[in-house]
Structure 1
Amino acid sequence: MDELKVKKSPLERAKMTLSVLALIIIAACSKVEGQADLQKRQGEETPIQVVSTIGMITDVVREVGGDEVDVNGLMGPGVDPHLYKASQGDVGKLDKADIIFYGGLHLEGKMTEIFKKLERQKRTIAVSKNINPKLLRSGKDAGGSEYDPHIWFNVKHWVSATETIRDTLSEYDPEHAEKYRQNADHYIRQLNELNAEVKERIKEIPESGRVLVTAHDAFGYFGDAYGIKVMGLQGISTASEYGSKDVSKLRDYLVENKIKAVFVESSIPTKSMEAVIAGAAEKGHTVKIGGELYSDSLGEPGSDADTYVKMVRHNVNTIVEALK
């Protein structure tokens, strides 16, 4: 049996025709607008959109990329990357980025999973990727991951991170590769001078007093590179908990070795080290807070630690003045 066909009135046919025409016009306009936007992007030189995690990486991208990049750092002063959780706004920034730079070695905790997924869609680069694993410190014994992620505390490792950022920008934007190379060369010269300066300053501390006690075990690379014994109350990651046994163990070490100063960190509450100081006082040994160090973040804009070079210099000056 033939299907019944319903005959539409002239008015209904007219409405349908207008609807179809409207859809065609909207689609055409969208296509024209899209082409115009594409032509605009191709015709005008716009900065590379970069998203970075910690402030130290953001600083290097600015140094190497110059005015060819627009870098958006996710983690500002005083932010702990180990405990950081991406917000909806962060996800939007990552989605719009041309290039993403992060520390790697599980520095950014749970965000590492996000970066691994994004690697399939866009350039998502761990700045630690070209450091020889033989030069990395183990993180397993200090409650962390396979490797200690705090590579910036050895200035030589930060040279490698700078080279990785330079090469990534050059591959993405070969037209300005020479500019990136020149910027990186200039910055690396500063880093090499900084490395030599740190070595000389540490010599001002008597060998018996070269003990750096901090809130968490972030300064291991610093200790290895510059000849200082480093002890942290917490493990490599601040996500690891510390207990009364950890406080007692560190307290006893301070008392037995007559350590006169410990250090707090800008991204970690001071109460942990205050407990150690109080414990030492009960044992008849006075320990002072030698100053505030920057471990996992830079200082506020305008401070003496708002760039990587200034942050390292601030830390070294604080340590030397307290221990020499």
Structure 2
Amino acid sequence: MFVAGCTQNGQGTAPPGIGGDKERLNIVTTTTMITDLVKEIGGDAVHVDGLMGAGIDPHLYKASAGDVNRMRQADVIIYNGLHLEGKMADIFEEFQGTQVKTVAITEAIDKSILLPTEDEGKLYDPHIWFDIELWKEAALYVRDALSSVDSKNESTYQANTEKYLEKLDDLQGYIKTELAKIPQEKRVLITAHDAFGYFGRAYDFEVLGLQGLSTTTEAGIADMQELADIIAERKIPAIYIESSVPPRSIEALQKAVQARGFDVAIGGELFSDAMGDAGTEEGTYLGMVRHNVDTIVGGLLSE
């Protein structure tokens, strides 16, 4: 565990608070969505150190030795699970049974409502944040996890969660209102990898990804050709790049469709496995989801 390979790090070195702030619960998180969630629930009672920043692909992320040290000094590690952070699985296992509490937010979701992968019954789609109702379950799970470690601030975590759930309910209303503008025949979402399955199920979209659930798999020529045929035949107006996935595969798909005589547009950039830059609207979960919805609506309603 302590000889983890060095690679890109989303946030740089750990801030002084990690391991030294005894007034607040010290929490290390993985993805940007989880970092934002824990800040919303924890508020001023916690210090949150996110390992991954904007544009970082959690499927490919490898923890550095510095990351492991930051986790060793934490009170709690909160991650997604379901193999989203696939290259960190051994590290999380090493911390189980130590004084550092590890929390996988996908454990909040009953397996009966998780989307299975092609290896049905063994692996599940980890991208639960694209269904607001599932994200609410994750929020409640984080609330309970923090309360179990830091009972003196339980009322704070409860109050913050109630406020956050209200924000999520408002966001849910916005999503449904905006997506209702898209007629059924245009409700097809095509992206670089298959990250939007829960979005499709929740909001009645057909979702097609060029790559599989994980970006560790490469799209083959046959996959590209098959998807290009579908787009050209059905005249799907837009396809989308993702902020955490290089755009070359979607650009190649666009050219393949154009070679079939149909001019499909790149409808914009969606945030899938990472949020936008810190300090921007898209750098929050609520803002990221609104951006995605606006971008999807704009692209699929374009002439």
CA–CA distance in structure 1, aligned partners of residues 278 and 39 of structure 2 = 14
- Structure 2 equivalent of residue 319 of structure 1: 296
Q: Per-residue CA shift, 1:248-291, capped at 9, x if unaligned?
A: 01100001101110000000010001111101111110011000
Residues 263, 292 of structure 1: 8 Å contact kept: yes
- Equivalent of 2:110 in 97, 118, 132: 132
Q: Per-residue CA shift, 1:18-44, capped at 9, x if unaligned?
A: xxxxxxxxxxxxxxxxxxxxxxx8xx9
CA–CA distance in structure 1, aligned partners of residues 205 and 196 of structure 2 = 9
In the alignment, does 2:139 pair up with 1:162?
Answer: yes
| Deviation of the 1:141 alpha carbon | 5.6
**TM-score, structure 2 length as denominator?**
0.90
Q: Runs of 4 or more off by more than 2 Å in structure 1?
A: none
- Structure 2 equivalent of residue 288 of structure 1: 265
- Structure 2 equivalent of residue 185 of structure 1: 162
Residues 214, 265 of structure 1: 8 Å contact kept: yes
Instruction: Please tell me the root mean square deviation across aligned C-alpha atoms, in Å.
Output: 1.5
CA–CA distance in structure 1, aligned partners of residues 42 and 71 of structure 2 = 18
In the alignment, does 2:275 pair up with 1:298?
Answer: yes
| Deviation of the 1:57 alpha carbon | 0.5
CA–CA distance in structure 1, aligned partners of residues 232 and 122 of structure 2 = 31
Residues 105, 145 of structure 1: 8 Å contact kept: no
CA–CA distance in structure 1, aligned partners of residues 88 and 211 of structure 2 = 21
Residues 254, 280 of structure 1: 8 Å contact kept: yes
The structure with the greater share of residues assigned to helix is: 1
- Structure 2 equivalent of residue 113 of structure 1: 90
| Deviation of the 1:304 alpha carbon | 2.7
CA–CA distance in structure 2, aligned partners of residues 182 and 67 of structure 1 = 12
1:70 aligned counterpart, secondary structure: strand
Question: Compared with structure 1, are the counterparts of its residues 319 and 145 closer, same or farther at alpha carbon in structure 2 (3 Å cutoff)?
Answer: farther
Amino acid at match of 1:269: P
| Deviation of the 1:55 alpha carbon | 0.5
- Structure 2 equivalent of residue 267 of structure 1: 244
| Deviation of the 1:145 alpha carbon | 6.7
- Structure 1 equivalent of residue 202 of structure 2: 225
Where do 5+ consecutive residues of structure 1 fail to align?
Answer: 1-40
2:26 aligned counterpart, secondary structure: strand
Amino acid at match of 1:63: E
Q: Per-residue CA shift, 1:37-60, capped at 9, x if unaligned?
A: xxxx8xx95111100000000001
2:283 aligned counterpart, secondary structure: coil
Residues 300, 306 of structure 1: 8 Å contact kept: yes
CA–CA distance in structure 1, aligned partners of residues 142 and 163 of structure 2 = 14
Q: Per-residue CA shift, 1:188-242, capped at 9, x if unaligned?
A: 1111121122112111001100000000000000000001110000000000111
Question: Compared with structure 1, are the counterparts of its residues 176 and 309 closer, same or farther at alpha carbon in structure 2 (3 Å cutoff)?
Answer: same
In the alignment, does 2:151 pair up with 1:174?
Answer: yes
- Equivalent of 2:54 in 56, 60, 77: 77
CA–CA distance in structure 2, aligned partners of residues 309 and 299 of structure 1 = 11
Amino acid at match of 2:171: L
In the alignment, does 2:32 pair up with 1:55?
Answer: yes
- Equivalent of 1:152 in 125, 129, 146: 129
CA–CA distance in structure 2, aligned partners of residues 243 and 303 of structure 1 = 35
| Deviation of the 1:303 alpha carbon | 2.4
1:249 aligned counterpart, secondary structure: helix
- Structure 1 equivalent of residue 3 of structure 2: none
1:129 aligned counterpart, secondary structure: helix
Amino acid at match of 1:69: V
CA–CA distance in structure 1, aligned partners of residues 161 and 23 of structure 2 = 21
Amino acid at match of 1:238: T
Percent of pairs identical after alignment? 47
- Equivalent of 1:95 in 66, 72, 96: 72
Amino acid at match of 2:205: I
Where do 5+ consecutive residues of structure 2 fail to align?
Answer: 1-19
